[in-house]
Structure 1
């Protein structure tokens, strides 16, 4: 039987998706209601056991058909990018190549992740015949309940769900507090909490174990992060174990309406996203102070503790500490202590290799901090 551990990384794509890929493999990226790895799980019995697949590729009927017909010792490519291959061991040297006729869905850049999340919200959410009367007694209004999935364990008090323009998923043990408004397509995943008056706008996924408030639009929150207070986050990707202070806000559209440029870890230069909307790309274990302001297309690395009364720079290297412009390198031991504290607070298991990962990040971004 094929194993999802054969969803493997590609070095260049991992760099292009930094800082998200410091702490996780490509297959562990979240899209829609689950990780890429989870999306491949239903097909384990069908795919040949010796098949290696690019970890950022999403399954589709067309791609699955191509995988089932792929001969041994042969690779599938889309243009110059390998998508899958059959071999006895992992390899980057492919001599026998077949080219796909249909473009596969795969993540190369952060903006691809947002686009894929938008599509997945429509594809992943399966309504479960919600009875509105069950929630009316608690002051909740559901518009187009036939387009909603609400887990029986979820708590909805004085909330409004508007699924008239897209489906809404409310996961197990979610707590939507009074005044929460959600416009679909959107998903609030297991164990997450919304604060009073939270506004979740379309095309948003709030991952498991998050606590959110204020206004969030067209964004993807990885598990166990907090944005508990007022402030706007739009067209953004927020990593795990982040904590955004009150009134932390980002711009997601340029005043001149031109395409947004973001820092690319692969080229160490700004790259055109070909999109007019992009807010923040934030790694894991980032904390911001109150009133922190991010400009359009800001990239923040891992293990940062930052604030500023002015707009922060468009690129904040990993392990940065302090209030801009007076910042300094975050001590590695303090960064590890802070990360462990947030992991414990979210009742998760601290990775044994956490200090070594921080050491790796420290070395890789040493020049960027100078």
Structure 2
């Protein structure tokens, strides 16, 4: 059966992270939501019900019987069983929101649903960007079991120090770790295929270092942290999610943050995650067009894809950065930095679209990934619309 991953009502709530992707393609834990559900349901026939300008890159559903699924939650074993057992015209509802349905996408309509069943269990549900880092420990635990069950970890080299249970450390094939310390007493640690932990690193779980990514010399990593594939991280980070293909290669602190793909934080970039008055942090909401109270004392940076900071950049607590922005001016930039900002401050000129293409092509080529015409069309839509 075709899996249809739906953005439902959540796409706008996750901006700027979803300007360039459906909700299902965000990463939290070890996997993206899409990867997680494909593995749970043992099904790779995937399509997306998302914004029209993203559909050329993320395939539209075929008009046939489908499992329609909102992806941004962690299911229990009982909920997984309920989803697998759905019959045609049946749906599951959580807190008055539809999360799964067996329907035909030919003439898609919720009127097809004849029976709705409420999920009574409490679920970990991600509804806004700050939820990604707030519940990352739960996501890492979930994915660790999903990915490592029945598998054998590579042995940890004797040059390293392990504090905690060996069973809470998993090292995939080809990964390298030397002369570092790993603490699994505070959470599980997953080291992906061909990843590298360079000498002198200190890892305090829960941590996921995904495929082909690196912790640079002497990095200090506090959980719950996820570094997506093909990324490099140095300095100090705490409770950070990096979607993938991004670099924070040098000293500087980032905490309680989410960073998209193809981003680069210049040397000694620092992002505050705590206000001087210890009050709740507010983050910009693209839906309400206002700064909203997160209810969190710790919240740092939300950064859209392809954005960059210069060396020695200082970011305020609760900063939101759009897509393809360049922050390089002296002083603290504002808490909201627009898409394609050239400088980072309000009323700065915009990064020219052709130049944005040019930089993206160079950055992506370093990872042997091409910037396609479809990618350029997404850039242009964001540039013209937002």
TM-score w.r.t. the length of structure 1 is 0.90
**C-alpha deviations, 1:234-258, integer Å up to 9, x for none?**
0000000001001111111122222
What residue is the counterpart of 2:177 in the other structure? Answer: 156
How far is the alpha carbon of 1:273 from its aligned partner?
1.3
Counterpart Cα distance in 2 of 1:240 and 1:59: 26
Cα distance change, pair 238–43 in 1 and its aligned pair in 2 (3 A): closer
Unaligned runs of 5+ in 2: 46-63
Following TM superposition, the consecutive aligned residue runs of length 4 or more in structure 1 with deviations greater than 6 angstroms are none
Once the two structures are overlaid, the 10-residue window that deviates more, 241-250 or 61-70, is 61-70
Q: How far off is 1:3 after superposition? A: 2.9
Indicate if the aligned counterparts of 2:337 and 2:345 stay in contact, CA closer than 8 A. Answer: no
Instruction: For 1:133-152, list aligned pairs within 5 A.
Output: 135-136=157-158, 139-144=159-164, 145-152=166-173
Secondary structure (helix, strand or coil) at the match of 2:348 reads strand
Q: Distance in 2 between matches of 1:319 and 1:327?
A: 10
Instruction: Indicate which of 81, 91, 95 corresponds to 2:109.
Output: 91
Sort the Cα spacing of 1:54 and 1:187 in 2 relative to 1 into closer, same or farther, 3 A: same
1:55 to 2:52 alignment: no
Deviations 1:112-157 (Å, cap 9, x if unpaired)?
Answer: 222332212223224845544xx12xx3222233321112411222
- Larger relative contact order (C-alpha < 8 A, sep ≥ 6)? 2
Give 1:108's aligned residue.
Answer: 127
1:41 equivalent among 33, 38, 42: 38
User: Cα deviations across residues 77-122 of structure 1 (Å, max 9, x unaligned)?
Assistant: 2233221222212435576443322244332101222233221222
- Partner residue in 1 for 2:352: 331
Whole-angstrom distance in 2 between the partners of 1:217 and 1:265: 26
Q: Does the residue aligned with 2:82 lie in a helix, a strand or coil? A: helix
2:314 corresponds in structure 1 to: 293
Q: 1:69 deviation in Å?
A: 4.6
1:14 equivalent in structure 2: 11
**CA 70–285 in structure 1, closer or farther in 2 if over 3 Å, else same:** same
User: In 2 relative to 1, CA 224–273 (structure 1 residues): closer, same or farther, beyond 3 Å?
Assistant: same
Q: Is the 8 A contact 2:65 2:103 kept in 1?
A: no
Tell me, in whole angstroms, the C-alpha distance in 2 between the residues paired with 1:325 and 1:266. Answer: 20
Matched with 2:56 is none
Tell me how large the CA RMSD over aligned residues is. 2.3
Unaligned runs of 5+ in 1: 366-370
